[in-house]
Structure 1
């Protein structure tokens, strides 16, 4: 049963990373209309958060 807890902890860590990224992006929502650089920065930050989340899930799969 310990592999189930590895997956649960990895999934919880992934959710924490994604929620933290979304909260940060919501708090830093001070861009001007038409500020495309800020839009690209936000999209990149969410992409990095998802990559980190899936990397933690992949690490749990490799460890298992």
Structure 2
């Protein structure tokens, strides 16, 4: 009988956490690069601080 490798729940959550971090970084870059998006949101320091705080609290 052939055994299958089963991923643990921990491995799955780490993968999800990494993808959330990548998505947040991509979205932040998208907002900074596209003047249409950047002009429609508040672009003061609090916007950047909020996005950077996400990465300060981010953990695997």
TM-score class normalised by the smaller sequence: 0.5 to 0.7
Which of 11, 28, 33 matches 1:4? 11
Unpaired stretches in structure 1, ≥5 consecutive residues: 31-37
Runs of 4+ in 1 over 3 A off after TM superposition: 47-51
Matched residue count? 47
Unpaired stretches in structure 2, ≥5 consecutive residues: 1-7
TM-aligned CA distance change 1:14 to 1:54, over 3 Å = farther
What TM-score comes out, normalization by structure 1 length? 0.52
TM-aligned CA distance change 1:17 to 1:28, over 3 Å = same
Structure 2 counterpart of 1:26: 33
What TM-score comes out, normalization by structure 2 length? 0.54
Structure with bigger RCO (C-alpha 8 Å, 6+ apart): 1
CA RMSD after TM alignment? 2.8
